[in-house]
């Protein structure tokens, strides 16, 4: 799967994607991640990419021409690509959106700075995403978040073949608590059941923990989960 990024700060992407799981996936050729400097698509001696807003107000707006030229170039290189604009007004990114995006052959991410894009750029993209209701300084970190979440769904990227299917949020519940050695840490003990070797009991315990944690910490997820899976006989909620 190919990821292409249009940004005024392409260097931001090099360190995160050269490390660990994503870095290995790039080395193996399972995914490709390329960045393109938006300024290169701007004209004139100073290659200006921003301008003052019509109607007045604070801050600057991304000029449409460089962004449009960049998008055209990416569409020429990757005709099958879905072009995604990263913006606070976009669709809320989540695990279901990640699975959807992972079904594409290529994705192009357009990252903005300043107060945002000229409105007319929206007509040239296929989707708009936000990663949550908080204000960041640009679309680069959000694009990295989306690329990371999508890339790990590409077959072969995670070492363990089953890992992506066992994710929290993929079955609608939070994860059960994890423990490793030592069996006692600063006076806190690993639950006895995990040392029992009885895998039927362990599975039941983990499932109960998932349900209790979700109910307590994420009532929103719990309500969704209960609407999809009506309570079964003998399981009290
Ligand atoms: C004062 C109005 N601001 C909108 C909330 C302007 C503005 C602030 C910050 C416009 C863009 C930005 C930079 N953020 C992004 O480009 C961005 C973003 C984000 O800030 N939060 C969550 N997801 C995203 S996706 C792109």
Is pLDDT at 200 greater than 70 in this prediction?
yes
Check if 167 is active-site.
Answer: yes
The model's pLDDT over 176-197, given as tens digits with 9 standing for 90+, comes to: 999 999 999 999 999 999 999 9
From the alpha carbon of 134, which atom of ligand 1 is closest?
A: 21
Q: Give me the catalytic one of 167, 175, 206, 212.
A: 167
If asked whether residues 120 and 176 sit together in one domain, one would say: no
> What's the pLDDT band for 231 if we cut at 50, 70, 90?
confident
- How far separated are the first and last CA of the chain, in Å rounded? 42
**Substitution candidate for ligand 1 out of 130, 135, 149 with most atoms within 8 A of CB:** 135
The answer as to whether 163 is a domain residue is: no
Is pLDDT at 234 greater than 70 in this prediction?
no
Query: Could you tell me what percent of the chain has a pLDDT over 70?
Result: 95
If asked whether residues 7 and 115 sit together in one domain, one would say: yes
From the alpha carbon of 136, which atom of ligand 1 is closest?
A: 20
Q: Give me the catalytic one of 115, 126, 171, 203.
A: 115
If asked whether residues 30 and 105 sit together in one domain, one would say: yes
pLDDT at 162: 60
> What's the pLDDT band for 164 if we cut at 50, 70, 90?
confident
Q: What is the mean pLDDT of the chain?
A: 95
If residue 87 lies in a helix (H) or strand (E), which one and from where to where?
strand 82-92
pLDDT at 235: 60
pLDDT at 161: 61
> What's the pLDDT band for 230 if we cut at 50, 70, 90?
confident
Q: Where does ligand 1 bind, in terms of residues with CB under 6 Å?
A: 86-88, 112, 115-116, 130-132, 134-139, 142
Give the global pTM: 0.95
> What's the pLDDT band for 84 if we cut at 50, 70, 90?
very high
Check if 218 is active-site.
Answer: no
Domain count across the chain = 2
50 in Cβ contact with 61 (< 8 Å): yes
* Domain hosting residue 211, numbered range: 168-227
The answer as to whether 42 is a domain residue is: yes
Indicate which CATH number applies to the domain containing 217.
1.10.1270.20
Distance separating alpha carbons of residues 224 and 226, to the nearest angstrom: 6
38 in Cβ contact with 106 (< 8 Å): no
If asked whether residues 9 and 34 sit together in one domain, one would say: yes
> Which among 1, 157, 7 has a CA at the least distance from the CA of 81?
1
If asked whether residues 97 and 19 sit together in one domain, one would say: yes
pLDDT at 190: 99
Is pLDDT at 168 greater than 90 in this prediction?
no
> Which among 139, 144, 135 has a CA at the least distance from the CA of 125?
139
Residue with tokens 């995914």: 31
The answer as to whether 91 is a domain residue is: yes
Indicate which CATH number applies to the domain containing 125.
3.40.1280.10
Q: Give me the catalytic one of 16, 53, 64, 88.
A: 88
If asked whether residues 177 and 207 sit together in one domain, one would say: yes
The model's pLDDT over 112-132, given as tens digits with 9 standing for 90+, comes to: 999 999 999 999 999 999 999
If asked whether residues 26 and 109 sit together in one domain, one would say: yes
The answer as to whether 157 is a domain residue is: no
SS3 call for 45: coil
Instruction: Give the mean model confidence (pLDDT) for residues 143-171.
Output: 85
Is pLDDT at 147 greater than 70 in this prediction?
yes
The answer as to whether 159 is a domain residue is: no
Identify how many contiguous H helices and E strands the chain contains and give both numbers: 6, 9
Check if 152 is active-site.
Answer: yes
If asked whether residues 21 and 76 sit together in one domain, one would say: yes
If asked whether residues 105 and 191 sit together in one domain, one would say: no
> What's the pLDDT band for 170 if we cut at 50, 70, 90?
low
Residue nearest to atom 3 of ligand 1 (CA): 115
The model's pLDDT over 1-58, given as tens digits with 9 standing for 90+, comes to: 999 999 999 999 999 999 999 999 999 999 999 999 999 999 999 999 999 999 999 9
If asked whether residues 113 and 206 sit together in one domain, one would say: no
Separation of CA 84 and ligand 1 centre (Å): 15
The answer as to whether 8 is a domain residue is: yes
If asked whether residues 100 and 204 sit together in one domain, one would say: no
Check if 115 is active-site.
Answer: yes
If asked whether residues 176 and 62 sit together in one domain, one would say: no
């Amino acid at each position: 799967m190919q990821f292409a990024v249009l940004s005024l700060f392409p260097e931001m992407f090099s360190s995160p994607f050269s490390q660990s799981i994503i870095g290995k996936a790039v080395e193996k050729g399972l995914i490709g991640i390329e960045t393109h400097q938006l300024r290169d698509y701007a004209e004139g001696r100073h290659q200006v990419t921003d301008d003052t807003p019509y109607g007045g107000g604070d801050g600057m707006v991304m000029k449409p021409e460089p962004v449009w030229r960049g998008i055209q170039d990416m569409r020429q290189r990757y005709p099958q690509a879905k072009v995604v604009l990263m913006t606070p007004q976009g669709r809320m990114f989540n695990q279901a959106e990640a699975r959807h995006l992972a079904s594409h052959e290529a994705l192009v991410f357009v990252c903005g700075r300043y107060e945002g894009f000229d409105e007319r750029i929206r007509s040239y993209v296929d989707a708009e995403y936000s990663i949550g209701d908080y204000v960041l300084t640009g679309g680069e970190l959000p694009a990295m978040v989306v690329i990371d979440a999508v890339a790990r769904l590409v077959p072969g990227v995670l070492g363990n073949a089953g890992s992506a299917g066992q994710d929290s949020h993929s079955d609608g519940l939070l994860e059960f608590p994890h423990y490793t050695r030592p069996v006692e840490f600063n006076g806190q003990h690993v639950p006895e059941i995990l040392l029992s070797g009885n895998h039927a009991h362990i599975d039941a315990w983990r499932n109960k923990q998932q349900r209790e944690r979700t109910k307590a910490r994420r009532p929103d997820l719990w309500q969704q989960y209960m609407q999809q899976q009506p309570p079964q006989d003998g399981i009290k909620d």
